């Protein structure tokens, strides 16, 4: 189950499809989406039923499965997979007792798969595969699902290192070439109010973009402790948030939403360079693995635009989740859906909010039924790389260019996927940790 080698193409952050192919990498995939409508023209295996499988049965996975079933009355959850039996059992119990979707749950014991290879059984049993494991496994699982010609919902981020992103790009192109839908879990792109706000930015409501700022300051997240019978591998897997090889660190696992919104506001033009700092101020104990608890990054675009990014996970500190786009004619506050300046606008208060998580799955299943695939591969990969680039800069204390980040050979894959006592990961030390 080791990761196959992937060539590190020399590619700019805004390379065209032709440039990518010329450099020997995978082709870029359009980030198109479809309206949230239903259709019924797709008949897999001669049936109106779409068989849905879930890999990764934690809270996000359970939510994705429920949303998938709500999106299509002829969808059936037929397979579940997880590294561990207990979250799988919890997910099955929760979904089977949820009134809105219980009748669509049909997962007998022979379609409940546990272990590192659980994804294989789920993919074989399904038409649509939902991937919600810890991010490290995403490239492997997507590659296998695309090879089996399955439609996909892919949670963010899509990799934890540059070789993983390159592999994901190759798989995304194969999905596009095979007419498969691939919907990303970067959910803000499916929120109607966000779409309207970004559309106004693109239409010139704030003039030319000159700077951007995003903040994702939150409290602490869960920790599942340690049991004496667990190997070090099981301990890390069950507490995957705190190990860079599994989560990508929280700048990738959580803050990627903010970074993706900046890239979206920039018309999916990505920064050419970044300089970042970070460290462990509040979460210093060994139980927090080797991740940082805060990052601050300055991103640089080719046209002189700067993006200022801050994220942290500190218990008891102020929280703030906000995104600002500064232009020559005004300012857009993306989270508040508000524009000030020469062309003021605000999303009306009191309107019924739409559910961006549900919208993702509505769009996915509508695209499958209509035969008009969605391809979110390009932006989901590049936004993941934007987060990884900033993490590498903070870990090393070096400014990192897009080309350097994209070509990085640092592969975080463990020597083997086995329940053994692997070495605890070291915390990166800026100025000491080297860029690879």
pLDDT digits (tens, 9 = 90+) for 279-329: 999 999 999 999 999 999 999 999 999 999 999 999 999 999 999 999 999
Buried b (16+ CB within 10 A) or exposed e, 192-215: bbbbebbebbeeebbeebeebbbb
pLDDT digits (tens, 9 = 90+) for 95-104: 999 999 999 9
State residue 390's pLDDT score.
98
Reported as a pLDDT band with limits 50, 70 and 90, residue 142 is very high
pLDDT digits (tens, 9 = 90+) for 152-165: 999 999 999 999 99
Reported as a pLDDT band with limits 50, 70 and 90, residue 8 is very low
Q: How many CA atoms lie within 13 A of 7 on its CB side?
A: 11
Tell me the β-bridge partners of 375: 32, 182
pLDDT digits (tens, 9 = 90+) for 24-39: 333 323 333 333 333 3
Cα 213 from Cα 281, distance rounded (Å): 23
The region of weakest confidence among 21-35, 204-218, 220-234, 411-425 is 21-35
| Mean pLDDT score across all residues of the chain | 91
Planar angle of CA 237, 240, 243, nearest 5 degrees: 110
Cα 149 from Cα 152, distance rounded (Å): 9
Cα 125 from Cα 51, distance rounded (Å): 7
Tokens of 392: 């590498």
Three-state SS for the chain is CCCCCCCCCCCCCCCCHHHHHHCCCCCCCCCECCCCCCCCCCCHHHCCCEEEEEECCCHHHHHHHHHHHHHCCCEEEEEEEECCHHHHHHHHHHHHCCCCCHHHECCCHHHEEECCCHHHHHHHHCCEEEECCCHHHHHHHHHHHHHCCCEEEECCCCCCCHHHHHHHHHHHHHHHHCCCCEEECCHHHHCHHHHHHHHHHHCCCCCCEEEEEEEEEECCCCCCCCCCCCCHHHHHHHCHHHCHHHHCCHHHHCCHHHHHHHHHHCCCCCCCEEEEEEECCCCCCHHHCCCCCEEEEEEECCCCCEEEEEEEECCCCCCEEEEEEEECCEEEECCCCEEEECCCEECCCCCCCCCHHHHHHHHHHHHHHHCCCCECHHHHHHHHHHHHHHHHHHHHCCCEEHHHHHHCCCCCCCCCCCCCCCCCCCCCCCCCCCCC
Residue 322: how many other CB atoms lie within 10 Å: 14
Cα 436 from Cα 423, distance rounded (Å): 20
Q: What is the dihedral of CA 96, 97, 102, 108, to 10 degrees?
A: 20
Reported as a pLDDT band with limits 50, 70 and 90, residue 235 is very high
Task: Identify the structural domains of the chain with CATH numbers, from first to last.
Answer: 17-188+359-378 (3.40.50.720), 193-347+385-407 (3.30.360.10)
Any idea which residue has 């400014």 for tokens? 399
| Phi, psi (rounded to 5 degrees) for 276 | -135, 160
State residue 42's pLDDT score.
65
Strand 50-55 relative to strand 128-131, pairing:
parallel
pLDDT digits (tens, 9 = 90+) for 418-433: 999 888 789 999 999 9
Cα 250 from Cα 246, distance rounded (Å): 11
Neighbour order of strands in the sheet with 112-114? 112-114, 75-82, 50-55, 128-131, 151-154, 182-184
Q: Between residues 211 and 45, which one has the greater pLDDT?
A: 211
pLDDT at residue 352 tops 50? yes
Which pTM does this prediction carry? 0.91
């Amino acid at each position: 189950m080791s990761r196959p080698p992937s060539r590190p193409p020399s590619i700019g952050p805004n390379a065209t499809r032709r440039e990518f192919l010329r450099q020997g990498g995978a082709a870029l995939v359009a980030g198109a989406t479809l309206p949230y409508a239903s259709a019924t023209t797709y008949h897999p295996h001669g049936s109106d039923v779409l068989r849905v499988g879930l890999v990764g049965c934690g809270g996000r996975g359970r939510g994705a499965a429920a949303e998938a079933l709500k999106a299509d009355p002829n969808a059936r959850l037929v397979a579940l997979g997880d590294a561990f039996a207990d979250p799988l059992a919890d997910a099955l119990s929760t979904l089977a007792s949820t009134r809105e979707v219980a009748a669509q749950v049909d997962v007998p014991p022979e379609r409940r798969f546990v272990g590192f290879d659980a994804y294989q059984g789920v993919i074989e049993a399904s038409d649509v595969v939902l991937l919600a494991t810890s991010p490290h496994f995403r490239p492997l699982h997507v590659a296998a699902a695309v090879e089996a010609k399955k439609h996909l919902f892919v949670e963010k981020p899509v990799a934890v290192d540059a070789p993983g992103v390159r592999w994901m790009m190759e798989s995304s192109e194969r999905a596009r070439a095979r007419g498969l839908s691939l919907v990303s879990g970067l959910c803000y792109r499916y929120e109607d109010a966000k779409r309207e706000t970004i559309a106004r930015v693109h239409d010139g409501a704030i003039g030319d973009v000159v700077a951007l700022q995003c903040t994702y300051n939150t409290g602490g997240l869960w920790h599942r402790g340690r049991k004496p019978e667990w190997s070090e591998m099981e301990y890390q897997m069950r507490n995957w948030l705190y190990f860079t090889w599994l989560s990508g660190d929280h700048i990738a696992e959580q803050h990627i939403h903010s970074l993706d919104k900046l890239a979206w506001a920039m018309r999916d033009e990505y920064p050419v360079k970044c300089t970042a700092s970070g460290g462990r101020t509040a979460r210093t104990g060994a139980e927090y693995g080797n991740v940082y608890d805060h990052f601050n990054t300055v991103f640089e675009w080719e046209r002189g635009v700067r993006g200022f990014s801050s994220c942290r996970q500190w218990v008891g500190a102020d929280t703030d989740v906000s995104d600002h786009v500064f232009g020559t004619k005004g300012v857009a506050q993306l989270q508040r859906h508000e524009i000030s300046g020469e062309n003021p606008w605000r999303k009306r208060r009191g309107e019924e909010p739409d559910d961006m998580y549900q919208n993702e799955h509505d769009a996915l299943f509508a695209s499958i039924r209509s035969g008009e695939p969605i391809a979110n591969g390009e932006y989901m990969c590049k936004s993941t790389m934007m987060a990884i680039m900033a993490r590498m800069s903070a870990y090393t204390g070096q400014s990192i260019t897009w080309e350097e980040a994209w070509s990085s050979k640092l592969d975080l894959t463990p020597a083997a996927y086995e329940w053994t006592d692997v070495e605890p990961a070291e915390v990166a030390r800026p100025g000491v940790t080297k860029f690879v």
